[in-house]
Chains A and B, each alone.
Chain A
Amino acid sequence: MKLSELAIGATAVVREFPKAGAAFLRLREMGLVAGTRVTLIRTAPLGDPLEIKVRGYHLTLRKSEAEHVLVDPAA
């Protein structure tokens, strides 16, 4: 499933990532790589962007990027 489809409060593991694009490289460098656990904390009051928790800190990204990040629900 897509990161953007995660329910609020749910945790998942990153499966796949687009290779190209500066935004995705930056997301990787911020610690979001295949195998990383992410938790969707909340969406902004107007629904976009999203706030996620990754490696113990909080990060925002827009839905337009989150749609391309594939995740597996964590056990």
Chain B
Amino acid sequence: MALPAHISSGVSAAPSRTPVYALVGNPNCGKSTLFNALTGLKQKVGNYPGVTVEKKIGTAYSQHGQPITVIDLPGAYSLAARSPDEAVTRDVLLGRRADTPQPDRILCIVDATNLERNLYLVHQILDLGRPVILVLNMMDVAAAAGLDVRAGRLERELGIPVIPCEAVNGKGLIELKLAMSRADLPLSRHAWDIPAPIAPAVAELQASLTANDRKPPLIARAEALLLLTDQDSVRVAGSTPLSARTTEILQGWQKRWEGEGTDWAGTLVNSRYDVIGRIAAEAVTRAGHTGPTASDKIDAVATHPIWGWMILGAVMTLLFLSIFTLAEYPMGFIEDGIASLSDWVKKDSGLPDGDLRDLITDGAIAGVGGVIVFLPQILILFFFIGLLESTGYMARAAFIMDRLMSRVGLNGKSFIPLLSSYACAIPGIMATRTIEDQKDRLVTILVAPLMSCSARLPVYLLMIAALVPGDRVPVATKVGVMILMYALGTFGAFGFAWLFKRTLLKGAPPVMIMELPPYRLPGLKDVALHMLERAWIFLRRAGTVILGISIVLWFLAAYPKAPEGATPQQQLAQSFAGRAGHALEPAIAPLGFDWQIGIGLISSFAAREVFVSTMGVVFNAESKDDDTTPLRQALLATKWPDGRPLFTPLVCFTLMIFYVFAMQCVSTVAIVRRETNSWRWPLFQIAYQTGTAWILSFIVYQAGRALGF
């Protein structure tokens, strides 16, 4: 098929306003690194409305200081989308999204070491008839691998500017900026013949798209080509649907081809790869035969049947060790900081004694502080996840774990998010974005909070202390019970994943088509930036909710006022929270919990570990630092009105089981709301988890009683 005349002749008009570039490329080609290098810290991160795909827009400045807008589109292998991320990339490029203007120009970044596969996307993009600049990234790696990639040849073959570059160390950036600020960017002169069996269909679809969907001719041609490969295209919210007439034509052709046995999608892909193969052969020469690369050598060990497991185990151990040891110091600082802030407000701020001051100290500061202490852990986790991603080890972990994860119907990519959830479910849930399949991703999000996070530790520790007679808990008992709780949560998570994949979120059997990128030294700056970005999202999303909840919880505990001279214990007992505890008692009495434990359960909504401090108030036992002995003694002394002890070993055990399963963390709810873009899933999660917690606690308690515990 001949190209329309204006494509081959012309130059695009100089944009009069700030030019808008879209940055596209395959995953792992260095796109984020280039985006950071181009825009520095001038970035805005948001979400595309209706989908949970990150929208990143930044401003770069040309050599003359002119601003250039750059939209960083999600990494994609093809415009025939397989995931919401790819769907957004496709829709923005095709001008299908009302919320994002169609970019004027396209910056296509490719990995020079892997030119053929990277050129597939470029080839599709050239069909769009927009000015394209090709960035040939990773030139250093290509040279080291003995590849001679000639930008000039590519430029001649494709007819667009080709800029060799090394995004990590900023090489080629000046040339790139010069090209980006050119007023006249040539349109690609590259022409390729649409294979004969499908050419009539493309022509007919193109005509219909122009007439019925009001697409400009070139976009219509690109859309027509895409419709043929986009078999069960991922439709995402915010993208405009096709007209009925075009759909009819498309289905007509598909039916006809199916009858004839024509492999239309295959024909199209093959013909693109034919062209690409020729171009790559022109542009790339291999300087002699090189042996196995460093990456190959590392992989021979890292994915070895024995060493592979050991390395995976070591990496994970290191991760958890650093979370728990490194985080300790900043957590101490934060705790001290919060305490002194609270003290200052109490003593020196000049605020009068009274409710307002208490609201600030006991409500806002204590509540938000209780969550902020986890920030160091969360930051370290984000940092590690970023590091695993950018070095390439993440893909290896998924490769090793895939078989095990497939037992419950997930694939290896769910492994790291689930594992991270042992520290905190929030980074885990935010890391599920790398899972392309929407159903797999949802299942992973739904079960992640079942992994026992570090906020549950204080609760477990207190309960274990109360469970075992004597002031010192034997280490073996402590460890044994702890392992049991972690195992319960883990089995629960896998069990529910299995169940959900078979019922609620039944889908096609998951596939594991994944690139194993070469190992790379990470750009620490980019990893740090990524970490801060995530942390900021967490603070913004969870922070506001936590502030609200803390104030509500404070209010519930502070009102109505007890008569003058009442102890904090008496105040809490007759407050709304105390009454809510009483109201809750019939529901939790079958689990062996009374209204006082009920207050603890309610207060856990701010963060699970708040249970411990609430119990301190309820039972009037001030526990200093980490020493829970007074609290433990107070718990053991507590009795039901009829004189039976409240915290029997069975009740302590049941309470731990409840904490393993129940969804009590508002921060997680807020993040799940953000990541799934609806209230439906977080509400479902609260219901199923808390329901399971109740049922299992009921069974354990009643069975325990029947057995005479």
Interface residues of A (CB under 8 A from B): 17, 19-20, 22-23, 25-31, 33-34, 36, 41-42, 44-49, 51, 55-62, 64-65
Contact = CB atoms under 8 A, between A and B. Distances in A.
Interface of B: 77-78, 80, 82, 113-114, 116-117, 120, 229, 231-232, 263, 265-266, 269-270, 273, 299, 303-306, 308-309, 395, 399-400, 402-404, 406, 412, 508-509, 511-518
A65 B509 CA distance: 11
A45 B512 contact: no
Contacts of B266: 17, 19, 25, 28, 33
Given A29-B80, A60-B513, A46 B403 contact: yes
A25 B399 contact: no
B511 A55 contact: no
A22 B514 contact: no
Given A17-B266, A22-B232, A56-B116, A49 B509 contact: no
Given A28-B269, A33-B273, 16 more contacts: A22-B82, A23-B511, A25-B80, A26-B513, A29-B120, A31-B273, A48-B403, A49-B403, A49-B412, A57-B515, A58-B516, A59-B514, A60-B515, A60-B516, A61-B511, A62-B511
A47 B403 contact: yes
Given A30-B117, A59-B513, A65-B513, A42 B269 contact: no
A44 to B, nearest CB: 5
Nearest to A45: B305
Contacts of A26: 77-78, 82, 511, 513
A54 B423 CA distance: 38
Contacts of B400: 44-46
Contacts of A57: 113-114, 117, 515-517
A39 B559 CA distance: 72
9 A-B pairs closest in CB distance: A46-B403, A58-B516, A55-B116, A45-B305, A28-B269, A19-B263, A29-B78, A23-B511, A57-B114
12 contacts: A19-B263, A22-B508, A26-B511, A36-B273, A45-B400, A47-B403, A51-B516, A57-B114, A57-B517, A58-B517, A60-B513, A60-B514
Q: Which of B269, B404, B509, B518 has the most CB of A within 10 A?
A: B269
A62 B117 contact: no
A36 B266 CA distance: 13
Q: Which of A26, A30, A42, A49 has the most CB of B within 10 A?
A: A49
B514 A44 contact: no
A41 B396 CA distance: 14
A55 B114 contact: yes
B136 to A, nearest CB: 15
B79 to A, nearest CB: 10
A17 B12 CA distance: 41
Contacts of A19: 263, 265-266
Nearest to B121: A29
A47 B273 CA distance: 31
B515 A59 contact: yes
Contacts of A49: 399, 402-403, 412, 512
B505 to A, nearest CB: 17
Nearest to B145: A56
B269 A51 contact: no
